[in-house]
Amino acid sequence: MLEWVLKTTAKFGSARLTRLLKVCAEEGILDSDTLVVLLQVVALNQGHEPAHIVVNDILDEVLQLDKILGRTADPEEAPPLIEEAGLG
């Protein structure tokens, strides 16, 4: 999961990933303890915030997170998360 956070922070920027993780927690995808740890890792990796990211890249990362968490990766669930986080 740490590898995913580092890669995704570099791809999306810390602000976007923070929003996505918080939405995942609100939706019950991440528990609060995991959220806290992941947000700490994101905070340590502040850096370049890309001006634009491709929605398909966001979708891929959300589906990868599902797999890491042992969830069934459902392409139908990801778009509402992406929209709620203000990323798409």
The model's pLDDT over 11-59, given as tens digits with 9 standing for 90+, comes to 899 999 999 999 999 999 999 999 999 999 999 987 777 888 888 898 9
Q: What is the pLDDT of residue 88?
A: 66
Q: What is the pLDDT of residue 77?
A: 87
Helices 2-12 & 55-68 angle (0-180, nearest 10): 170
Residue 1, CA atoms < 13 Å, CB-side half-sphere: 15
Residues listed for the chain: 88
For 88, which DSSP code? Answer: -
Domain ranges of the chain: 2-84
Tell me how far apart the alpha carbons of residues 34 and 53 are, in angstroms, rounded to a whole number: 25
Tell me how far apart the alpha carbons of residues 22 and 30 are, in angstroms, rounded to a whole number: 8
